[in-house]
Amino acid sequence: MNREGSEFRELMLQVFRTRMAFRRSMQRTLKKNNAGITFEMLQVLSSLWREQGITQQVLAERTAKDKACLTNLMNNLEKKGYVYRQEDPNDRRNKLVFLTPEGENFREQIRPILDQVYVYAERAIGLEGIRTMMSELKAVYDVLENS
């Protein structure tokens, strides 16, 4: 049996399991604090908190969501009053996505709640462990991007 590459395969599985554990942890925190949004909605809002006025296509790419899923998330976020879409003046086929004032304010409300997850994990793992993992994961990223 060829074992070449099996250690790397296990590493990638662990990265995926860790991502899923992070998602579940954030989802539990959102639910426990009655945030009224899902993890997927949070991903969309987080992207918009970094940059507004982007197309739904760009937003779909940044959140790794397909078009149908993103449309559903956008509809739900619009109903909550956090985002709005506007026709792109340069290309009428595209919609640009913006935060409403409520969407901006929600960031300040949700940040302390989300920080609970980050602070707990940082304390449990330790700064040195985090720095080591970040360095190693960056090396993996670089290898995969340049292969």
| Counts for the chain of helices (H) and strands (E), in that order | 6, 3
| pLDDT per residue as tens digits for the range 74-132 | 999 999 999 999 998 888 888 899 999 999 999 999 999 999 999 999 999 999 999 99
pLDDT at position 5 is 84
| pLDDT, mean of residues 58-85 | 94
Phi, psi of 65, rounded to the nearest 5 degrees: -115, 145
Alpha carbon distance 27, 83 (integer Å): 21
Q: What is the pLDDT of residue 2?
A: 62
For 47-55, the CB contacts below 8 A with 24+ separation are 48/83, 48/97, 48/98, 48/99, 48/103, 49/99, 49/107, 52/97, 52/98, 52/99, 53/96, 53/97, 53/98, 54/96, 54/97, 55/88, 55/94, 55/95, 55/96, 55/97
What is the model's pTM?
0.84
The domain defined by 31-145 folds into Arc Repressor Mutant, subunit A (1.10.10)
- How far apart, in whole angstroms, are the C-alpha atoms of residue 70 and residue 48? 13
CA 49, distance to chain mean position in Å, is: 11
